[in-house]
Chain A
Amino acid sequence: MKEELETANRPDNTAFTQQRLPAWQPMLSAGIVIPGFVLIGLAFIGIGVALFIASQNITVLEKDYTGVEITSDCYKCSNPSDKNCTCKLDFSLSNLFEGPVFFYYGLSNYFQSQRSYGVSKDDYQLSGDLDYFKTPISACSPYQYDANQNPIVPCGSLANSMFNDTFKLYQIVNGTKKLVPFDGKGIAWWTDYNIKYRNPSVTPLKNAFNGTVKPPFWSKPAYELDTSDPSNNGFVNQDFLVWMRRAALPDFRKLYRRITEGDYASGLPAGNYSLEIGYNYPVLSFGGRKKVVFSNVSWMGGKNQFLGIAYLVVGSLCVVMSTVMLIVYAKFKFPEDD
């Protein structure tokens, strides 16, 4: 009985059971690894050069408008008690700022990546589930209900703290302000306003918000975020979506508008410009900074000096190391008498 079992259990004499699977055993020698090292290094240098050049070709104009300095026009608005303050930021371009120009706002020392901040939202609510309009999830607390126990929609600290400065760019042409048209469409991820966030299917949208209150920091309710475009309201408002997509690091910028229309489709011509800022968002209390950034993009996205330089450094390091190795190899292989 036992023997039978053993015979039955006896496996075939296969390559697998005998551990004789055909295999490739790379035979690495100095003749392969050193040139390999050099090649990798050269490849990295190549990529680095390409990235660096691409990055160099990108023009960036960055302006801080926090209003810390008294000289700044926005200094007057830095007092948080001052509501609806407007200031302006003037700058001039000596050359054509090639388009398409992307217009960003930037914040620093702002911890959007804080965990409790990041989870302080209600994904069900934001996907248009009306049940969660009545009872937002507790993660939104303390922005779950207002003092009267009315549910806040959209709830949570993330939505509540939405950036609410407004910008208008004027070109000063012969002393007159010419509005540079901003394109606010498609600045958020397509998946965000089609899949992740959705308005409840109630028309008009306003009705869905009956019995709810707007987040305390907000000046207008979610369904009135964009008065010019009814479809850009509620949870699919582009600015809202851009804000809701958290930044990973405390210094970040977010896309505000693109300049792609009219006379400015090919870029911002040389000249004087004035940026009119609706200064609402307080950052000075925690030492934060606000800025605006004009930038164009290349095939590799926005300007990124670091990546190109890092590639160059690592690539060079490989080449240097392979040289050292070659020397070591020569010493080892052919001792002094040779």
Chain B
Amino acid sequence: MPSSNLVGNRERQFVVVIGFSLTLYLTDITWEVRANSRHFHKHRRRRSFLCFRWGRYADNVVRSFKYSPLTFLPLTLYEQFQRAANLYFLLMVVMQCVPAISSIPWYTTTIPLVIVLSVRGLKDLANDLVRSLTHPPITRLSPSLSSLTNWRGFTNVNSLFFLSIPTPFSLCLPFYLSPSFLLLFAPHPTPSLPLSLPLSGIVLCEEPNSRLYTFRGELHWRGERHPLDSEHILLRGTVLRNTDTAFGMAIYTGSDSKILRNVGQLRVKRTQIEKVLNKVVIGVMLFLLLMALLLAVGSGVFQGRVSSQIEVLSALTRGNSPIYTAFLTYWSYVILLSPAMPMSLYITFEMIHVLHSLFIGWDVEMRGGVERSIPAQARNTSLNEELGQVGHLLSDKTGTLTQNRLLFRQCCIAGNVYGKDELPSLCPTSASPQTLDLSWNPFSCGGLYLSDQRLVDKLRGQQCTQSRQFLTTLALCHTVMTEWRNGEGAPVYQAASPDEEALVGAARELGWVFLSRTRDSLTVSELGVKRHYQLLTLLDFTSQRRRMSVLGKTDGGLKLYCKGADIVILERLQKDCPHLESTERALDLFAQSCLRTLCIAERTVSEAKWEEWSKTMAQAAMTTRNHDDMLEQLHDDMERDLKLLGVTAIEDRLQDGVPETISLLRQAGLKVWVLTGDKKETAVNIGYACRLLDPDTRLLEGDELRQLLQSPDPEITFSKGKGTELWCVDRERAGEKSALVLTGPELVNIHYRSKDLENLLIQEPEWGARFMSLAGLCQSVLCCRVTPGQKADVVTLVRKNTASITMAIGDGANDVNMIKTAHIGVGLAGVEGGQAVQNADYALAKFSFLQRLLLVHGRWSYRRIAVFLRYFLYKTCSFALVHIWFGFFNGFSAQSLYENWFIILYTVFYTAMPVECLGIFEQDVSAECSLSWPELYKVGQRQELFNTWLLAATLLHALYTSLVLFFMPLGVFYNSALDYQTMAVTVSIASLFSATIEIILLTRHWTKWSVAAMCVSFGLFFKSPVDYYFPGVSQNAFPSPVVWFTALLTAWTAVLPSFTIRTLNIILTNPDRHRHGPVELQKSGFRRGDSHRRSSYAMSQGRGIGRLITSGASRRITFPPVDRRGTLGDNVTLAGQTQSDDAPKNITENGSSK
């Protein structure tokens, strides 16, 4: 079977799943893996029962679910009773079963508790089932050295290999496997390293860890020891190309694999509101316990002082001492007051959460994908209200903001701009105005987004040498690999940078087809004429140089082809370079359109100069001192006196609606941060394109940022610095007009020996606080070149240092950690596989749906839940606290003032439905208004509707209400012939009235359901047999006008404060401020007229792969290129400085899916 797969399947991509790491600290090499020794591993396989684990090697089942049939019940109970409230209720149930203290019957708490526990448990189970279904366990496999021909069953399984790939060509290797490794396996002279060879060897390495970019270990093989480092390992998710066979050995499997160590723990997210609520619940409970204590003391005193005199009462004490009576009374009061914190609060809370989540899923305006088939999905149903409070949005870039499609849009050659001058954001998504007739080009295979017949005419007309040179440069100056696939007329380009792919692709369309490369030559077909260029040298791209050059030799002599960022190229031009002015104008034009520009230049080099230069170069290679400086000087020497050919403009296509969404979110007060593995220029460019940065935004980066951070008070220095530089006077505005650009490693490597900035910021609280206070002043922060772990660290940093709610949005596996760390994680359900979505709390089809999710659903949810919780606490506390006051008139005997069933039904039926309707339907403003008034969102960020103070006020109001509820009827009933049951009914009606009036005051959106709920609730009270235990009360008490007048007066007096405050609110604010409808929707296009150019060479890696091309590691004509996903090895060589943004994206994607 495997062999049949092999044949003719060379394009198969192998996906290996990945772990990384790089630590400067040595760790013990204690992890032992033996090749082909099942016996060795079998006995050490990790097993688990319930929560006990033993054994060393995890099997390969990756679990993202936590329950099994056996563990469900204990686990779910354990989890649920971690909630203070549930424990409290359990205690209530137990106590109510004790006859001596049971002041109200047992079923008042038991029934609701059972309901709550089962509802919650079932919900958790359902969530878990969904997870386990989407994550089926994969084949079990123990670490062994295996041939990877049957990769299909293998890749998902083993998380980490180190491997050799003997190809049919024997030398063809993924270039990111380092030479040391090649020595080990690859140079085997035999073209077919026997697949069946029972290799044996022992790998000793680090214990499983989460460090993605480091690895330390050694291989003991045939009596030799070979050191292993991160270049030898493949992590889960890596794609291998150009080979069918690879040998490897699983080192870490299953949950030990680095990526799984890196995805963070599954943890229960709690919303801020829930935390505040929990605090308040605990506060209320403590208050109740204290009250119960005081009342119990009262009862002891009463028994000692009063009831001992009364024969009828003293006889009832049955000889108990006052202290014992007080003890019993204490518990009785604890039970009696417990309805102040009813279970139904939690049931209803849960229910409303679920409904809100359903609303999100139902919203047709948040459906994406083909024919709107992908609905938004709330995977975590308990975070909805937090959507209305998000203060920091941390976004991934690639795949989230951008489509990761780079389009060659425009170019400027010899001062002439080619390509339509249209704003990219206004183009329809698939705008491919392929009006050009390229049928003359046999290599054309579409995908040119620059349509300008003039250019084609010029190129084919042979008149314009400059445009021909321009395209020659595009076709030569790059590090792209070609791959010829069977039956295809054109080569497939594999580039480390999507920019290069776009450029070379565009050159191919226009007739300059890059055909193949060897170590020292390039073959290009120029308008059908095949030409060989001798590749003399390749001066590669680095982030300092920001340019790359190729020195090529043809019959016509030596030429240096160069491309790079405009600043770098423009300063290296020869004097009196033609078209400079018009080219600069073009650069500005492109920059306004948010296109990424690269300057293209060439230089004719004399043979003599080359020889001299190469000699110096060879000498330089020998020296070890100042090696880098010398190289730099040499490069500089070569790359000068350039002749400007033109400028390319590439569009990094944004997702639909991203700029609008981001500007809306910024208006809503959100700080949008971009965290990307890409390099700085790319990120900044995208920042401008998606209106995260304004054209006049000042970027704080590098040294400046470091200085600010080093100053004792960055805020002061920040504003001072601005004052001196006079670019902005007003501090507020200054802050809004600047952004931090942070490159993970850069800042730290220079000054601090710490591994990365995030570690520094996180480990040093002071630094973190400084950074955050600085970031708080700025409009945005861009973090470039961050690893998945660092992304999460940044989230942690924000969480630690601000009170605001963080939301992380991403689309790939590299965002999983961040998504899990943030308060709310959003996954984009897109092409990148399900990893992000699996771990996210919300799944959206498009980034732009965020505006609806946050501004509409989130805002509503926040409002609804805040109002709901406040009201619920009010109604239950006001209702239950009455018993405290009644205690003074019944000898502190824990006599209830309500009929037993009323206590249960009050919260469940009589007052539940209106507040449920409020929690479900309430809208203070419509969805449209929410979107056109993003400022309204700030209410949630400032926690204006639900905070400790507001809750305290609510509770005070409840206390006041309970006083009124008791003492108003007391005045009426005192010294009257009306009995206890009539009074109980009066107080019941009064509390019902006050709760209803309060909800009427709160409801601002009356649907038919709200009205119906109100009527039904009232009907239930008056039409049902009210007097379960009070027979005859309804016949006797209801006809009495005193009861009604008392209830009405009591209720009105109870709500008078809140009514007054609301009225004052209405008087003091203009109520119809937000109802004029949208004033202006910010849909203006790009601001023109800025002169800030943005030029970049958008390699996604820190350093080009030129070193490998020219290193002589391989002399094969065709290099196996890598997909962006497979470039991890390269990253690793850069000592953790850079990471591919997308490296470990596909954890579960099947290896040979293509």
Contacts and interface: CB of A to CB of B under 8 A. Distances in A.
Interface in A149-172: 157, 160-161
Contact of A37 (B375, B893, B927, B1063): B1063
Contact of B893 (A106, A116, A196, A248): A116
B364 A21 contact: no
B1067 A34 contact: yes
A40 B311 CA distance: 49
B891 interface: yes
A111 B923 CA distance: 50
Contact of A33 (B927, B1066, B1072): B1066
B979 A310 contact: no
B1007 A311 contact: no
B313 A307 contact: no
A313 B1038 CA distance: 25
A310 B971 contact: yes
Interface string B1031-1053: 11001100011100110010011
Contacts of B1087: none
Contacts, number: 219
Interface stretch (B393-401, B569-577, B980-988): B980-988
B306 interface: yes
12 contacts: A6-B375, A19-B359, A23-B1007, A23-B1010, A25-B1006, A28-B1071, A114-B891, A247-B979, A248-B983, A300-B1041, A306-B972, A314-B1053
B1102 to A, nearest CB: 40
Contact of A248 (B311, B980, B1042, B1063): B980
A160 B318 contact: no
A190 B1032 contact: yes
Contact of A18 (B306, B362, B1007): B362
Contact of A157 (B316, B891, B921): B316
B894 interface: yes
B1052 A120 contact: no
Contacts of B205: none
B1067 A44 contact: no
A26 B1001 CA distance: 10
A211 interface: no
Interface in B958-978: 968, 970-978
Contacts of B1006: 23-26
Nearest to B986: A248
B1033 to A, nearest CB: 8
B1153 interface: no
Nearest to B980: A248
Nearest to A3: B373
Contacts of A70: none
A112 B1006 CA distance: 46
A161 B396 CA distance: 79
A44 B332 CA distance: 39
Contact of B1067 (A6, A30, A160, A307): A30
Given A111-B307, A253-B976, 16 more contacts: A18-B362, A18-B363, A19-B927, A21-B1007, A23-B1005, A26-B1004, A111-B893, A142-B316, A161-B312, A247-B980, A248-B979, A248-B980, A248-B984, A301-B978, A307-B1045, A310-B1053
A304 B1049 CA distance: 14
Contact of B889 (A34, A190, A248): A248
B108 to A, nearest CB: 16
Contacts of A13: 364
Contacts of A118: 895, 980
B890 A113 contact: yes
Contacts of A311: 1045, 1049
A307 B1064 CA distance: 28
Given A29-B1066, A328-B1064, A112 B315 contact: no
A160 B1064 contact: no
Nearest to A318: B1056
Contacts of A26: 1004, 1006
Given A6-B375, A141-B318, A332 B1067 contact: yes
Given A115-B890, A310-B968, A314-B1056, A332 B1068 contact: yes
A51 B1045 contact: yes
B1035 A191 contact: yes
Interface string A315-337: 00110010001001100100000
A329 B1070 CA distance: 11
A26 B1075 CA distance: 12
Contacts of A113: 886, 889-891, 893, 895, 980
Interface string A277-288: 000001001111
A6 B373 contact: yes
Contacts of A160: 312
A189 B891 contact: no
Contacts of A132: none
A255 interface: yes
Contact of A29 (B973, B1008, B1071): B1071
Nearest to B1040: A301
B976 A252 contact: yes
B482 interface: no
B1052 A314 contact: yes
A101 to B, nearest CB: 14
B923 A248 contact: no
Contacts of B1068: 328, 332
B1063 A34 contact: yes
A267 interface: no
